[in-house]
A and B are shown apart, each in its own frame.
Chain A
Amino acid sequence: MVKLNHVVKVFDDDDHDQSHAAVNDISLEIMEGEFLTILGPSGCGKTTTLRMIAGFEKCTQGNIYIDGEDVSSKPPYERQVNTVFQSYALFPHMNIYDNIAFGLNLKKVSKTEIDRRVKEMLKMVQLEGMEKRMPDQLSGGQKQRVAIARAIINKPKVLLLDEPLGALDQKLRKQMQVELKHLQKQLGITFIFVTHDQEEALTMSNRICIMNNGKIEQVGTPDEIYERPATRFVADFIGETNIFEARFKGFEKGQVQATLEDGQDVLLDKSTPVGNDTICFAIRPERLKIKPAPADRDSYFKAKYKESIYIGSTIKTIVTLANGRAVTVSAPAGEAYDLSYRSEELYVTWNPENAVVIKE
């Protein structure tokens, strides 16, 4: 549906007389009816990417295809995409009805048809009876709904959403996440959603594209991104994780054997490509278990107990390796460990499948 082909965007910095690449050679394909989230820290190029798809920015290099057509040199008003802006960008001099009808009015759709579709939209976003209100009389959540209605009434092929929930409070945000997801399923429109909120990305998307420094780090389904991060950045950015550096030792029973920084040998996931001598791997805290003695198929290392932190649903336990490195282990609060061996040596164990080798 949308295809980015080696897209580069270079901005000339007026104040410093230098230029920098906000988006640096990215290629990405988005399927029809997909909910794709572009996730990354601020300044990673995600909004610039979205703005290039919308047509507000021209690609410095590369091409953008929408529905098979090269739109790289087309202005925004000739592209079959619509945008929901971060600041909503509702027209302050028009009431809600006219805001929503704006796109259809331009297309010279008949008045009765416009009326029917605006009413339908208002119903869909639960703003019936608000037609005559002005944008500044609405709450943040209501403005958000108007912005969405104003975009989807045009039946775009792709809907672009630029951190649309950023200005809402936590509770409303959760609610809107669910509503947006339902809306997307109901309409079957391709959504490209930009956010810096990883939870939002994980709950809403079919696929997530993680960007950093103008480049794509990884594209995958939420569980792929979470369970099998490809790079150190992804592992670190999404959720909490333990990242270890180790030396490649060899293969054992089809699994990778490596030596930890303090000299202990551990087993890692077999499916990961290993090339270098030093390798990096990540294990989620909830995939680690603390046991007085390791079980048969587990990999493990010995560590010392340091402290436990109670955070409601889970308990976080910090242990240290012989060289002082801290490792976080978390477990549901209900499954509290027998920590009678607190000051003694204990075993941190895991299933080798959950130790993922990552790129630096």
Chain B
Amino acid sequence: MEPPPGGKERSKFSSKLRGSLLTIAPITLWMLAFFIVPIIIIIVISFSKRTIVGSIEYSFNLSNYGKVFNLNYVKILGNSLWISLETTLLCLLFGYPFAYFVARASKKYRSILLMLIILPFWTNSLIRTYAWMILLRTEGIINTYLMNLHIIKEPLQMLYTEGAVLIGMLYTMFPFMVLPLYSTIEKLDFSLLEAAADLGANPRKTFLKVTLPLTKSGILSGCLLVFVPTLGLFFIPDLMGGSKIILISNLIKNQFLQSRNWPFGAAMSIIVMLLMFIFLKLFNKLGGSKDKLEVM
């Protein structure tokens, strides 16, 4: 005898369900252990109190958040956002032509050029930052050469300036701009550019009316991928900005490691996280898609 059709279907359905549960279980556990739980811990800490010895007293209060809106801290946050924005725009300014050039290079050279972008990734970014310090410091390579060539009489103050921080950020974040740009420009159908030229558009018009709108999603992804992490990079302003440049990332790091004020650090982290969340929403609204965040 055959089993009733309904029962067969149900068992089929439940096995399907079991299958999908099994598939998503690992990622769910992973997210739970390494994302949800830590976030909850940080949220809890942000509402707690610091004791005199620097440990945490779990009592609900909002004073940490109140403290974030102190004018000095708001200024630091503003400055951080400004530097992130500058970094993003500089990355875009240099990254777009570079990505375009790579995407249009012949196949033979394309992989070499991409390699040149990715290669520095394989070196620790801290070490690369130290390398920049050796180049830029007062008795550094650049100053020594310029002095020996008698171009300057006194060494230039390059390290421990905002410019140095910008250079460091630009250098570190550059690939994050180039790779999404490259992947959208590479997909651009170049016959569209020919069509625009054919219809009477000079190169500038072609760029503004065709190339730019069609690579918008790459620009947005690149900007997001540079802007958000730049806000959180603390070792570059630490090492290259010295004590003069304090950004929100240094401030948070200091709360956790030096001042031992975990609740305040946690509150600031939450604020920065909310800001990043807003930027992500803004990004989606501007027309970038989440899939485009997958770089390659």
Q: Which residues of B contact A14 (CB under 8 A)?
A: 106-108
CA distance A313 to B173 in the complex (A): 70
Q: Which residues of A contact B189 (CB under 8 A)?
A: 87, 89
Q: How far is the CB of B49 from chain A (nearest CB, A)?
A: 54
A89 and B192: CB pair below 8 A? yes
Which residues from A are CB-within-8-Å of B200? Answer: 77, 103, 106-107, 154
The answer, among A85, A92, A102, for a CB contact under 8 Å with B194, is A85
Least Cβ–Cβ distance between B216 and chain A, in angstroms: 8
A93 touches B197 (CB 8 A): no
User: B180-196 toward A: CB 8 Å interface, digit per residue (1/0)?
Assistant: 00000000010110111
Contact A89 B199 (CB under 8 A): no
Q: Which of B191, B195, B197 contacts A75 (CB 8 A)?
A: B197
How far apart sit A200 and B238, CA to CA, in the bound complex (Å)?
Answer: 71
B106: A residues at CB distance < 8 A: 14
Do most interface residues of chain B lie in helix, strand or loop, or is the interface mixed? helix
**Chain A interface helix/strand/loop/mixed:** loop
**Known contacts A15-B108, A89-B189: does B197 contact A77 (CB below 8 Å)?**
yes
Contacts of B199 in A (CB 8 A): 77, 82, 102-103, 106, 150-151, 154
Chain B residues lying within 8 Å of A81, measured Cβ to Cβ, are 198
Contacts of A55 in B (CB 8 A): 197-198
Residue of A nearest to B202 (CB): A77
Q: Is there contact, CB below 8 Å, between B194 and A56?
A: yes
Chain A contributes a number of interface residues (CB within 8 A of B) equal to: 25
**Chain A hits for B198, CB < 8 A:** 54-56, 76-77, 81-83, 151
Determine if B7 is an interface residue (Cβ-Cβ < 8 Å): no
Tell me which residues across on chain B come within 8 A of A103, comparing CB atoms.
199-200
Q: Does A91 contact B (CB under 8 A)?
A: yes
Chain A 68-115 residues near chain B, CB threshold 8 A: 75-77, 81-83, 85, 87, 89-93, 102-103, 106-107
Choose from B107, B194, B209, B210 the contact partner of A76 (Cβ within 8 Å). Answer: B194
Taking CB atoms, residues of chain A closer than 8 Å to B107 are 14-15
Task: Tell me, in angstroms, the Cα distance from A91 to B213 when the chains sit together.
Answer: 10
Task: Tell yes or no: B205 within 8 A of A by CB.
Answer: yes
Q: Is A87 a contact of B197 with CB atoms below 8 Å? A: no
The proximity string for B residues 72-112 relative to A, scoring 1 for CB distances below 8 Å and 0 otherwise, is: 00000000000000000000000000000000001110000
Give the CA-CA distance A260 to B168 in the complex, in Å.
85
In the bound complex, how far is the Cα of B106 from the Cα of A92, in angstroms? Answer: 25
B251 interface residue (CB < 8 Å to A): no
B214 beta carbon closer than 8 Å to chain A = yes
The answer to whether the Cβ of B201 comes within 8 Å of any Cβ in the partner chain is yes
Of B108, B197, B200, B205, the most chain A CB neighbours within 10 A belong to B200
Q: Least Cβ distance of A253 to chain B in Å?
A: 57
Known A-B contacts A14-B106, A76-B194; the reply to A91 vs B210 at CB < 8 A is yes
Q: C-beta contact mask, A2-39 vs B, less than 8 Å → 1, else 0? A: 00000000000011000000000000000000000000
Q: Roughly how many angstroms separate A93 CA and B296 CA in the complex, as a whole number?
A: 23
CA distance A93 to B205 in the complex (A): 15
Within 8 A of A (CB), among B209-233: 209-210, 213-214
A82 to B199 CA separation, bound complex (whole angstroms): 6
With a cutoff of 8 Å between Cβ atoms, the chain A residues found around residue B214 in the complex are: 91-93
**CA A91 – CA B210 in complex, angstroms?**
7
Q: Which of A82, A85, A89 has the most CB of B within 10 A?
A: A89
- In the complex formed, the residue of B with least CB distance to A93 is B213
A85 and B199 CA atoms in complex are apart in Å by 12
Q: Does B201 contact A106, Cβ atoms closer than 8 Å? A: yes
Residues in chain B near residue A106, CB distance under 8 A: 199-201, 205
Instruction: Scan A38-58; emit 1 where CB is below 8 A from any B CB, else 0.
Output: 000000000000000011100
CA of A91 to CA of B212 in the docked complex: distance in angstroms?
12
- Min CB distance A160 to B, Å, is 8
**Would you give the shortest CB distance from B8 to chain A, in whole angstroms?**
42
A83 B201 Cβ-Cβ under 8 A: no
Are B191 and A102 neighbours in the complex by a CB distance under 8 Å? no
A-B contact pairs, 20 of them (CB 8 A): A14-B106, A14-B108, A15-B108, A75-B197, A76-B194, A76-B197, A77-B198, A77-B200, A81-B198, A82-B198, A89-B192, A90-B195, A92-B214, A93-B214, A102-B196, A102-B201, A102-B209, A106-B205, A150-B199, A151-B199
Closest 10 CB pairs of A and B: A103-B199, A89-B195, A76-B197, A89-B191, A83-B198, A106-B200, A14-B106, A77-B197, A93-B213, A77-B200
